[in-house]
Amino acid sequence: MYSSIAEFIKEANETGKSLSDLMIEQEMDHSKRSYEDIWKQMERNLDTMQAAVERSVMGDGVMSSTGLTGGDAVKIKKYREKGNTLSGDRIMHGVQDALGTNEVNAAMGVICATPTAGASGTLPGVLFPIAEQLKLSREQMVRFLFTSSLFGMVVANNAMIAGAMGGCQAEVGSASAMAAAAAVEAAGGTPDQSEIAFGIAMGNLLGLVCDPVAGLVEIPCVKRNAIGAGNALIAADMALAGIENKIPADEVVEAMRKVGRSMPRELRETGLGGLAGTPTGENIKMKIFGQSL
């Protein structure tokens, strides 16, 4: 099993195999399951992601039971239709899908955790806009998920992917970096460029705190996924343009781990610090849970 990003990038360069193929081979070797079986499971994940995105813009959209989040993906959809967005339609498509997925998540709908539920909008917010632009086949979309997971496994094993352990940099930060790396492969970039995109994306989100208001995966989680998707698209473009990242991806992961370890507990998904600790955040908590919390 690959224990570092450098290891599988080297393997890809030496063998000429794609990163997605390396992930599938590792999965077959470890789980003793067939190629077909593994492929089908990843297709099901893709279907789940697609269904969540579609559900999010049906009618007035979905609302969470608290009423704190929901309906924003629909607003972005209508806004895009006017055709005059500041950051461009590709990015806003990503924002729509990222918001939408997390709105479904907050409403306790069915989603695919990528790598976590709180960060489940970031990958769709990159995959679906680039699939439209690059006219990706279904096969390429499934490969995007395998490549993302190859990077994600190294992060999960060497650092962390839970907000309670390392802040939101471990959730949206990891998701953004995974998506950036996979976007590069989907766009025809090299494995080295995938590594660079990964490093840029994660480096830019270092220190991101996990501060859910009232402890709910709503504020700021839903909007933060939109930023994660935008960050990934920009990082992928930078790498494809030939920009280098001076710090190797594995060292960025290690830096993320150390930052996460040194974060105070108030900023690690306890719902105490950051936005959760603002007067308004406290008021929301009181309104929802009363005095008991």
Partner 1 sequence: MSSVAELKVEKKEKKVMNFKSCFNVIGPVMIGPSSSHTAGAIEIGKLANKLFQGKPTHALVKYYESFAETHKGHGTDFAIASGILGFETDDARVPAALDIAKEENIDIQFVEMSGDSPVHHANTACITLSNDEREIHVTGISVGGGTIEVKYIEIEGFVLEPQGTLPVLLVITKNEILKKQIETLLGDNGIKINQMTEYQNGETFLYQFDLDSPPSDKIKDDIYHVKKDSKIILL
Task: Give the phi and the psi of residue 210 in degrees, each rounded to 5.
Answer: -110, 105
19 binds partner 1 (CB under 8 A): no
| Residue found under tokens 């594995």 | 250
Q: Between residue 30 and residue 49, which ones bind partner 1 under the rule CB under 8 A?
A: 30-33, 38, 41-42, 44-45, 48
First and final CA of the chain: distance in angstroms? 44
**Of the candidate residues 9, 150, 180, 267, the single one contacting partner 1 (CB under 8 A):** 150
List Cβ neighbours of 155 (8 Å cut-off, separation of 6 or more).
115, 161, 170, 174, 177, 178, 202, 253, 256
Residues 187-216 contacting partner 1, CB under 8 A: 212, 214-216
118 forms part of the interface with partner 1 (CB under 8 A)? yes
Helix pair 72-81, 89-106: axis angle to 10 deg: 160
Query: What is the closest distance, in whole angstroms, from the C-beta atom of residue 110 to partner 1 in the complex?
Result: 6
**Residues numbered 151-180 forming contacts with partner 1, rule: CB under 8 A:** 152-153, 156-157, 160-165, 170-171, 178
The yes or no reply on residue 1 touching partner 1 (CB under 8 A) is yes
**Over 57-90, what HEC string results?**
CCCCCCECCCCCCECHHHHHHHHHHCCCCCCCHH
- Closer by beta carbon to partner 1, 62 or else 95: 62
SS3 161: coil
Q: Which two tokens stand for residue 249?
A: 């991806």
Residue ranges of alpha helices (H) inside 122-244 are: 124-134, 138-158, 163-166, 172-186, 191-204, 221-240
Nearest to partner 1 of 3, 87 (CB atom): 3
Specify the residue, 91 or 256, whose C-beta has the smaller distance to partner 1: 256
Q: How far is the CB of 286 from partner 1 (least distance, A)?
A: 13
Q: Of 23, 126, 238, 240, which one interacts with partner 1 (CB under 8 A)?
A: 23
| Distance in Å, CB of 235 to partner 1, minimum | 19
Instruction: Respond yes or no on whether the N-terminal peptide bond of residue 220 is cis (omega within 30° of 0).
Output: yes
**What type of residue is 53?**
V
Give whichever of 15 and 289 is closer to partner 1, judged by the CB atom: 289
Closest CB to partner 1 among 150 and 180?
Answer: 150
Question: How many Å apart are CA 170 and CA 287, to the nearest integer?
Answer: 29
Footprint of partner 1 on 249-288 (CB under 8 A): 265, 268-272, 288
Decide: is 105 part of the binding site for partner 1 (CB under 8 A). yes
Instruction: Quote the least distance from Cβ 27 to partner 1, whole Å.
Output: 5
CB of 167 closer than 8 Å to CB of 270: no
Provide the minimum distance between the beta carbon of 218 and partner 1 in the complex, in angstroms, as a whole number: 8
Nearest approach in angstroms of CB 233 to partner 1 is 19
Least Å distance between CB 234 and partner 1? 22
d(CA 266, CA 273): 5
Backbone angles phi, psi at 264, to 5 degrees: -65, 155
The residues that touch partner 1, with contacts defined as CB under 8 A, are 1, 3, 23, 26-27, 30-33, 38, 41-42, 44-45, 48, 104-118, 120, 123, 145-146, 148-150, 152-153, 156-157, 160-165, 170-171, 178, 212, 214-218, 265, 268-272, 288-289, 293
